[in-house]
Amino acid sequence: MLEIKNLSKTYKKGNVKALDNVSLSINEGEFVALLGQNGAGKSTLINILAGNVTKDNGTVIVGDYNLDKNELETKKILGIVPQEITFDFVFSVGEILKNQSLYFGIKENQKYIDELLATLSLSEKKDAKSRGLSGGMKRRLLIAKALVHRPKLLILDEPTAGVDIELRRSLYDFLNQLHQQGTTIILTTHYLEEAEKLCDRIIIINEGKIIADDSKNKLMDTLGNEAMVELNFDNKKELSDFHFLTSYSPVMKNSKTLQMKASKQNIADIFYRISSNKVKFSNFKIEPQKLEDVFLTLINDESNK
Amino acid sequence: MKSNFLFYNPTGFFGLFKREVKRFMKVYIQTLLAPLLSNMLFLGVFGGMLKTRQVGIEGVDYLHFLVPGLSAMGAIFAGFQNPSFSIIVQKYSDTLKDLNSYPLSNFEKTLAFVLGGTVRGTLIGILTYIATIPFVGYSINNPLIFFGMLIVLSFIFSSLGVTVGLVLNNFEKMNFLLAIILTPLAYFGGVFFEVSQLPGILSKIIIANPLYPLINMVRFGYLGVHEGSIAIQSIFISIMSFITFFIAFLLLKKGVGLRN
């Protein structure tokens, strides 16, 4: 669905290298998270696809079309939800979507527009001007606008930034629904639990380079191998009571709780040592690493290189 | 989406053109009625004051002389302002870059903006003519040339409006350009008086004003009398139409104001 080879972009202003030889391939039907810190290059990548930024080098193939040779054909395949909320303020919600359909060459699209408005709970606002909408409604309208031409590849640039939890959840459901219907989705987000929840594949970009690209599970297995082990006791304890666990660098979270990090393979060893030393605990918790931890580990590793 | 030899996406082109027309129709008080009122004030003030003096073509009543000039001036300003205002507003609201994501050729985008302005310019020109009917009557020497020239004039200045909208990024600069260049050129292009009546070298300098042949041709359509060679002025207007559109097209193709 999307094939990017050796994509580079340097902004003349400030001589900033936003993308450095980026290559990636996204298959039809995938739900991919594109993660990175601010200024990592995510938006530049999306803006190149949208036509807002001209690339310096590299090849971009969308569907079967090369961006350099058949740019207009690629537009029909792509639906882009930008980060900034912007609308033609003189037009109503219904008119914005109708205009958008026309730009994509669709004359009769009212039925689908009504469907989209209903799904995104905007039907009542069909005749309202966009500037009178709430922040959440504007976000939903942006998504509806990107979908009017039924794109095969939907790219969402931080669609839930500044959106309340309830709306965020309804957007997750909607995106899942779209994905199940066969739409390929690329999502950039700062909410890593969002990526963890929705996406099958994670691509992490840092300083214009891809530093990780794998399925979510594989990434978590290889890089998220550590877990946080927490033991609770009925009586007060001292750190010295756990000398047999020194190799795991335990810490006392409070006087009755001990915490340590360990690889998944070593968890059994921790419990074996506790049992051998006849220490009784009242409760325990094993918390696997989150995508957030993996992300931070990767970013920090790259920064230290 | 059916393409043809000229248009890649005719429906999309029509959609963008329609949006440009709808945009000014939605604020018709500001875009149509206000310039019409100002033209009528010009007619009242200048026409009333100067009707007994010979400032127009000899043998032609001054009010009759003034009508095509005001129609042309209305078309020039409205044609220029429609796309330039639309593009700069879209720059402010950050929606102009949306154009990059539509499957529309650069020719289609340019033409849609230019034709949107052409419609507004022509409408102002025609409305000015209609509004003057109670004072000067409705007779037009050659309606085809008169209305045709209003369209051509609006097209040229709408193309210039697209260029200015793409190049400039705020209203201050656009208004400055309008006040410092376009308004003096229009006022000294033969809207209010016959250029050849100006004293000495001034009349020669003013003939070099690019607006002069355009206004003169509109007047030729309305009155049937003119200054200078119609053939040369027609060639000049044809070249100007092509060049102004081509510059707008090239800038849009290059992504000026649109792409980083």
Helical residues (DSSP H) of B98-138, grouped into ranges = 106-136
Residue A267 shares a structural domain with residue A194: no
Domain boundaries, chain B: 10-254
Residue A95 shares a structural domain with residue A172: yes
For the record, the structure tokens of B173 come out as 């600069």
Residue A239 shares a structural domain with residue A210: no
The answer to whether residues B60 and B141 touch, using CB atoms and an 8 Å cutoff, is no
Q: How far is A25 from chain B (nearest CA, A)?
A: 21
Quick check: A86 pLDDT over 70? yes
Q: Please write the tens of the pLDDT for every residue from B199-247.
A: 777 777 777 788 888 998 999 999 888 777 888 888 999 999 999 999 9
Residue A15 shares a structural domain with residue A109: yes
In-domain check, residue A81 = yes
Residue A233 shares a structural domain with residue A196: no
In-domain check, residue A243 = yes
CATH number at residue A198: 3.40.50.300
**Residue A263 neighbours by CB under 8 Å, 6+ apart:** A225, A226, A227
The answer to whether residues B9 and B103 touch, using CB atoms and an 8 Å cutoff, is yes
In-domain check, residue A146 = yes
Residue A56 burial by Cβ neighbours in a 10 Å radius (0-12, 13-18, 19+): middle
The answer to whether residues B12 and A107 touch, using CB atoms and an 8 Å cutoff, is no
Residue A26 shares a structural domain with residue A83: yes
- Count the domains in chain A: 2
Mean pLDDT of A94-120: 93
In-domain check, residue A37 = yes
Residue A215 shares a structural domain with residue A234: no
Q: Which residue has the tokens 């000067």?
A: B136
Quick check: A154 pLDDT over 80? yes
Residue A122 shares a structural domain with residue A261: no
Q: What's the pLDDT score for residue A303?
A: 63
CATH number at residue A242: 3.30.70.120
For the record, the structure tokens of A272 come out as 């074996």
CB pairs under 8 A between A and B: 81
Alpha-carbon span B9 to B41, nearest angstrom: 43
Mean pLDDT of A63-72: 90
Q: Which chain A residues have a beta carbon less than 8 Å from that of B90?
A: 88
Q: Which chain B residues have a beta carbon less than 8 Å from that of A54?
A: 255, 259-260
More confident residue, B46 or B218: B218
Q: Which residues of B107-123 are buried (b: 16+ CB within 10 A; e: fewer)?
A: bbbbbbbbbbbbbbbbb
Q: What's the pLDDT score for residue B115?
A: 97
**Residue B24 neighbours by CB under 8 Å, 6+ apart:** B31, B32, B82, B116, B120
Q: Please write the tens of the pLDDT for every residue from A155-174.
A: 998 888 777 788 888 888 88
| Contact check, Cβ <8 Å, B15/A47 | no
In-domain check, residue A301 = no
Residue A100 shares a structural domain with residue A234: no
Q: What's the pLDDT score for residue B52?
A: 64
In-domain check, residue A272 = yes
Cα–Cα nearest to B69, from B172, B220, B170, B184: B220
Q: What's the pLDDT score for residue B226?
A: 74
In-domain check, residue A40 = yes
In-domain check, residue A294 = no
Mean pLDDT of A98-115: 94
Q: Please write the tens of the pLDDT for every residue from B1-15.
A: 666 678 899 999 999
Reported ipTM: the value is 0.86
Q: Amino acid identity of B41? A: L
CB of B106 within 8 Å of a chain A CB? The answer is no
pTM for the whole thing?
0.84
CA nearest to B13 within chain A: A103
Residue A230 shares a structural domain with residue A212: no
Residue A231 shares a structural domain with residue A101: no
Domain interval for residue A268: 226-288
Lowest mean pLDDT among A140-149, A204-213, A283-292, B124-133: A283-292
Residue A217 shares a structural domain with residue A246: no
Where is the domain boundary, A221, A246, A264? A221
CA nearest to A146 within chain B: B101
